[in-house]
Structure 1
């Protein structure tokens, strides 16, 4: 009779390779020396866990990963390559998300403060200088809230 082996460490590594690194089931099977059939079983999720395709979708839609994808796209564009993403659709989604949140971004606050500071400098330069310090402190606070 064959002895049962604890494959959990290998399964966890395979899940990470699929979800976070975007590897295919075949590539994972080859690199971990397991069958594609085993990877296929694991991909379906075990004991009530989510399947790997759902986990991959959730992973890719996390804000920090969206930023990574967008930064990669900006790098390609800056090197003269064509866009591989539908930037307009992404922009529309970001605008929609912004309308659903109760707070405004630090970027928007900075834009408004900059306009206000220019206006205030023309009205009362001494008061404008006092506001600058408060604006800087609030922007630092706002930026820390977004991290």
Structure 2
């Protein structure tokens, strides 16, 4: 049974957790409701997003459409062409897409790098706390460098 009359701060924290479960961990609304002890309707409302925010489904698609996934889809279309089947993408478009994917493969998204560095920081804090502190400044400089490259 979902709890009622939770403080706004607690609901906001649960909403952030729910969003992470939905987008990153691919949990269903029902699973999230059960885990966080909220109603499915609450999760459904959260998924719609606030005014000015993209719905969670849109954000999930954006995150899941990685260069690797795009490359897989484009390779499937290429295979159709090779087999003489009709592709959903014409050869010129396919060529342009593949060139764009190759460029993406050679770049690193700062958000992904930050996530990986945070996991590494947590690991290092457990096994070598002194080293973790030393590395923190270099990690920050590296992220700033990646952000500058994107501009």
TM-score, normalised relative to structure 1: 0.47
TM-score, normalised relative to structure 2: 0.46
